[in-house]
Amino acid sequence: MDLQAEKLDLIQWLAQLTDEKLIHKIKALRNEKANDFVLTDAHKKILDERLESHKLNPNQGSSWINVKRRISSN
């Protein structure tokens, strides 16, 4: 069974699952895996610099509407 088929099989099984304790355990596992992401110090520094730049110049940049228009026009 390929990965896509295994995922679909799990989705179907999960949709029929009625064991509330097991559902909570699966949800906890999902949350644990979501928190596995590690932000490096270098990336954190870049984000901090960009946030500070935004605070100093909040009107600089483009609105989401304008960004969407530029992307859609290409």
pTM summary value? 0.44
Task: Write b or e for each residue in 27-61: b if 16 or more Cβ atoms lie within 10 A of its Cβ, otherwise e.
Answer: eeeeeeeeeeeeeeeeeeeeeeeeeeeeeeeeeee
36: helix, coil or strand?
coil
What pLDDT, on a 0 to 100 scale, did the predictor assign at position 65? 94
What amino acid occupies position 11?
Answer: I
Q: Is the pLDDT of residue 1 over 80?
A: no
Q: What is the DSSP letter of 60?
A: S
Instruction: Please answer whether residues 27 and 21 qualify as being in contact, where contact means their C-beta atoms are separated by less than 8 angstroms.
Output: no
**pLDDT digit string (tens) for 16-70?**
999 999 999 999 999 888 778 788 999 999 999 999 999 999 989 889 999 999 9
